[in-house]
Each structure stands twice: as structure tokens, then as C-alpha cells.
Amino acid sequence: MHYTIAVLCLLVSFHCCFSVPASPRDYKLFADLPKCSTEEDQLSDCVKHIFNTLTPRLKDGNEELKIPPYEPLVLNRTSFQYSSGNVNGRITMRNAKLSGFSTNVAKEVNVKLKDGKVKLRMVTFMPKLNIAGHYKADLQVNQLQLKPKGEFNVTLTNVEATTITDGEVYEKDGHRFFRMKNIDSNPKIGDLHIKANGIFQDPELDQIALNVANQYWRDIYGIMLPETRQYWQPLLLRMFNEALELVPIDGFLKD
């Protein structure tokens, strides 16, 4: 089930993992968006509006801005080391396709901006997120060595994430950008359903294991989420910052 955690890093991200394009860039794609006043009460609503406008708009990417499509979002390879109690090992997922991020909506946004420092708290909601791909693991469970390998397909419904971040505004190439320094995200899931094969040699045993996992997913998730935070939180921070490097914020801020 470790692979379900890998997606958590993406629950609040609306695009990711892009290389920085060569300038000059053309930002007319954003021309209809409001310019936000930096007055605190107006800034939060304005950022929420921009998030909720850009999230569906950029789902197919944008060639000029070198933003690749993110619906689905493809993760070539993500690997976690896990060690807790009687379970030790590594799990790797390959070619995972994540679908649903374009429906991620900001419900509450609170932004504080002072002296170039930014504090942001955001609650987002995604009705459905599907992750499907290949997995491979090497696990030691008590005295038992397990090397499962196969396909998986996980569906998460009603995903609500509360994310708190702080960061700073900086200048580059005559533009202002925002960079995050810390991020703390708490995703809550309404329901989770796992399909997989290759856990055991025997498909009937697979089905039994999956039935147990699907029945007890809340307990498993409750243990896995904090245990794996050290992996996905830095990944989340890096992905956000890579996305933020693509779009200067002066287009969205009144002077």
C-alpha cells in the first residue's frame, strides 16, 4: 500500500516537474486573470480565484510556456524506503498515471504578505483521484522475504488537503517570483479502493490480501501517512517550486 502514499505529494499541486523554459516567454494566456491587490482581505480571494482558473486551464499544458500536460500526470519512477515494526523494505512504482488533479478546487485560501515574506494556508478538494501503474517491492515481514511485482490501480475519493506553507518573493530577469521554503500538507481521504495483482503467486491470495487492505485502509493510511512524510513532503516542496519558477507573480499583483 506504500504506493498510495506517493500520490499524497501531489494532492495540492496543480502542475509539476517541468524544466525552466528559455525566455522570452509570452504570458498572454493569463491576460484575463485579475491583478490582485496586496490588501490582505482581497489577496486571499484573488489567489483562490487564480488557482481555480488555472488548474483546469493548464491541464493540457501550454507549449509556449513549456508547461507539459498534467492530466494524467505521469510519474516515471518513485521509490520509498519503509521501515517500521516488523516491516522493512523498499517499494518502487513505475509509469504511474495520476488522473484527477484538474478537478482539484481551492475551497479556502488565506494569504499573508509582508516585507516579501508570504504565509499561505489552503484547503483543497478533489472529488476523485485515480492512480494506476506498475509496482515492485522488496519487503521483509518478520522472517518472510516478499518480492511482489505487478500492476496496481488505486482510486481515492473525496480528497481534502489542508496545506500550510511559507515562502518569499524574489526577483529574477526583471520579474518577481514566489518560492516556498516550508510546506506542511495534511490530506484526508473519504474513501480508498485498491486493485492489484502479483502480490502473491496465487491470484486467490491476492484477492484475500486486497479485501483485507480495502477493509482496513483507514488504519493502514493512518500509520503510513506520518511514516512516509519524510519522503513525500520534500518531494512536494520541490515540485511546487519547479512549477512556481515558470510563472512570475508580477502579472497577478498590483504594485
In the complex, the residues that contact ligand NAG under the rule CB under 6 A are 17, 76, 130, 132, 153, 155
Closest separation between CB of residue 169 and ligand NAG, Å?
Answer: 28
Closest separation between CB of residue 17 and ligand NAG, Å?
Answer: 6
Query: Which CB, 21 or 222, lies closer to ligand NAG?
Result: 21
Query: Which CB, 76 or 230, lies closer to ligand NAG?
Result: 76
Closest separation between CB of residue 214 and ligand NAG, Å?
Answer: 13
Query: Which CB, 42 or 99, lies closer to ligand NAG?
Result: 99
d(CA 194, CA 211): 9
Closest separation between CB of residue 155 and ligand NAG, Å?
Answer: 5
Query: Which CB, 155 or 162, lies closer to ligand NAG?
Result: 155
Query: Which CB, 76 or 145, lies closer to ligand NAG?
Result: 76
Enclosing H/E stretch for 52: helix 40-57
Rounded to whole angstroms, what are the CA distances from 153 to 21, 108, 190? 33, 30, 17
Q: Which amino acid is at 132?
A: A
Closest separation between CB of residue 157 and ligand NAG, Å?
Answer: 11
Burial 8-32 (b: 16+ CB within 10 A, else e): bbbbbbbbbbbeeeeeebebebbee
Closest separation between CB of residue 19 and ligand NAG, Å?
Answer: 9
What cell does 221 get?
493510511
Q: Which amino acid is at 19?
A: S
Query: Which CB, 49 or 134, lies closer to ligand NAG?
Result: 134
Rounded to whole angstroms, what are the CA distances from 72 to 35, 59, 84, 97, 102? 30, 8, 32, 6, 9
Rounded to whole angstroms, what are the CA distances from 61 to 74, 99, 147, 233, 239? 13, 14, 37, 24, 16
Please answer whether residues 192 and 173 qualify as being in contact, where contact means their C-beta atoms are separated by less than 8 angstroms: no
